[in-house]
A and B are shown apart, each in its own frame.
Chain A
């Protein structure tokens, strides 16, 4: 027993000694040069990804910081590959807070509980928390000691536009495929599919939109297999609400077309890709970081629970590739003008279509569900939280 204790002591002494040596070598503390405002980010995937959800966020934060004259290399602290696990998220938050970050960004839905808990801690009262795709905020209760907001966007508007591109490319009455991580279980994916389908129907009224639901985010094998299935059953365009470029790569291999997501996937599928609904996360991040830096007391008033759209430039579609039909650009522009000017939105009871000269025709027509019943009024809450039905023309395979 004595021998064991001495061994233990020796090991501990060695560890401490080496730590001491290291500390002495590097100076008194291990802090890097932190000038000014620090932004902390928690990513679900890797910060070095070349595409996908995290990549889009990372690009957005970096771009926003540069626009504000900040240096992402020293002022952006990242913890990546954080699963949706309370302990891990809390570790990440504490790590970033310990570094001195004053704005902490969490990009995945599952981070919400941990971030909400952190936003209620008195010691974190000078840190602002912001949560993507979330539903909680400091407006919900008085327990919060700091500002905590969520942000999301009207990506459904961009999906509508991409639907126009897809509908024009497919043959009249043809099949358009959609690889979705989830379908009617999440309002976010559900409204996305419906918006896409409505866009397709604006130019291709009898087209079928066939959804293949994966049941999980981030499984690129399943994404590929679903896309292959859709191609096998005769889809001419494959759209997606999932992270990897696999559906587009499959479209390329099969000689059909597709609409990507999150980023311009033309480089992965040069002959297949039409356009993709993308996020310009930097629009929000510039607002959030600027306000957190310069006017933190009024953060909640200025930034609110952000829900920007085409108008703010928060969502958009990637530049149309060479594969789109000739009239695509013009038609999309017309619809974009309508949306941006506030005169129309996707889930109103006004249906759009085009006449022979390419002008928009508005028709009053209630939104119908897949089973034929009326969907009723669709407001922001429905789009973000409660929508759980497919519109007419959409089916699941």
Chain B
């Protein structure tokens, strides 16, 4: 599936995977629709297995039970009530994800926002008019959640704490806090005083969400209007403002952002606060709509939001569509299962999982180009006929392993001292292993190229520093960054430079290919030492850089 180990075979691979420059929009949409269709087909099989007509089931599901329903407007109202929190939460999460800040803490931030807005509602009671009350709740919930998220961001910025793990822990802490408030152990501030059992109290009436009635019997929850307007705002924020640009660049590469003069810490803190703020607002709206707190107030929106944000490729318009689809799936399933009791209410989770797997799997083909080189077979035949000839031709190709060797140095240097010990040790281990196996001596030699040359030894530290930046860029980059044109050409130029220098040294060293084993040992030995020496030097410089 992946490339063959080039250091072993030295031929252009059968299957080569490269990143696509541009993702074709139509292709992407096509993939998504295809994924949904396949998932629905699999689901249909499951539904048919309990002797329910899949088409009838899906029709009920996809129309969220509005057809043939005299209270159809209620279904739409309830749908909106579950759609809005998901939309807003996914928006908030997409903001932080765009910055490569993995905010897995949506659940916890939602809960904190909910608790705060409920507390405000109970404390303020009827001192404010409904519209003001909702604004206060939204701001209060947003700020509280924002601080909860900011906490992790500060830790990340100052100490490099892993944000995925930290926000995960904070989720559970918030959840248990909520559970604590539902008991009489500490305080019954949130509880219904008239109830025999501890149960969350209904919030005061003026905190109930405002709805605009009059469209038949349907009344529109204004938080929907707010959410849609907010989506447009986020779209503009991300694509048209300086902040949005900063978020993109920081997400793409922190180094680049730094070199461009941006205050990366400030961007991270600000964006994370904003991201959590949005989630807190979502929870305030939800609490206002449902009129009470509950242990399951989140309805797993923090987890679903991550999936939605990802499906939508962090694009606000995409978030609307994706959250709409997932909401239809979940809400519609409840409706359909109510009609067709034989189907297990679990089927929504199953369908969601299947859709995700297929979409994420096919996402690969959207982002990466797969080249299948059939001339591989021809070349293999030729190689079998004339091995020596094939070697020389192979070596003269701009093999990426040669390019990589220069990068290896820089990469080892750039990593912090501790891990470079690990990798340097690993590298040495592998190389000592290689000594025992004749066919691997080539690897050793080519890897040594920069240092066997006395000239390049002196230049090594300087080169390494230069190569630092592009190498760091590439190691820090993960899946789906779309490089800007300028950056792309930059890296292309650099790669070209590297290959040309490498080529020179390669041709110089062609003779050494034939050298006996022992010499290679010596060479490797000394350069190994020199390497670690160079590594230590570069570590120092790299550290100063930081």
Contacts and interface: CB of A to CB of B under 8 A. Distances in A.
A–B contact at 8 Å CB threshold (below): yes
Interface of A: 3-4, 7-8, 10-11, 14-15, 18-19, 22-23, 25-26, 29-32, 40, 46-48, 73, 76-81, 83-88, 90-92, 94-100, 109-110, 113, 123, 135, 185-188, 215, 384-386
B292 A77 contact: no
A23 B340 contact: no
Interface string B251-293: 0000000000000000000000000000000000010011110
Interface stretch (B72-80, B435-443, B485-493): B72-80
A84 B297 CA distance: 9
Contact of B196 (A7, A23, A94, A385): A385
A30 B71 contact: no
Contact of B339 (A4, A46, A99): A99
B334 A91 contact: yes
A14 B69 CA distance: 24
Given A22-B59, A98-B74, A185-B197, A87 B289 contact: yes
B195 interface: yes
A23 B296 contact: no
Nearest to A27: B56
A87 B327 CA distance: 14
A8 B317 contact: yes
Contact of A77 (B75, B183, B290, B338): B338
B335 interface: yes
Contact of A22 (B26, B55, B196, B294): B55
B81 A95 contact: no
7 contacts: A4-B317, A30-B60, A30-B68, A47-B341, A94-B74, A99-B339, A384-B196
Contacts of A91: 78, 82, 331, 334
A110 B182 CA distance: 12
Interface string B93-104: 000000000000
A87 B183 contact: no
Contacts of B68: 29-31
B62 interface: yes
A87 B339 contact: no
Contacts of A29: 67-68
Contact of A19 (B53, B62, B337): B62
Contacts of B337: 78-80
Contacts of B217: 123
Given A123-B217, A385-B196, A78 B74 contact: no
Given A86-B291, A87-B81, A90-B290, 11 more contacts: A11-B321, A30-B60, A32-B340, A83-B294, A87-B78, A88-B296, A88-B299, A98-B71, A113-B202, A113-B292, A123-B71
Interface secondary structure of A, over-half rule: helix
B184 interface: yes
Given A83-B294, A84-B294, A100-B70, A95 B334 contact: yes
A261 B513 CA distance: 81
Interface residues of B, number: 55
Interface in B457-499: none
Nearest to A387: B196
A389 to B, nearest CB: 14
Given A29-B67, A30-B67, A386-B196, A185 B202 contact: no
B338 A78 contact: yes
Q: Which 3 A-B pairs have the closest CB atoms?
A: A29-B68, A98-B69, A85-B294
B498 to A, nearest CB: 37
Contacts of B289: 87
Contact of A84 (B81, B82, B296, B338): B296
B177 interface: no
Nearest to B201: A113
B29 A135 contact: no
A96 B338 contact: yes
B199 interface: yes
A10 B78 CA distance: 26
A95 B70 contact: no
A127 to B, nearest CB: 10
Contact of B184 (A18, A22, A185, A188): A185
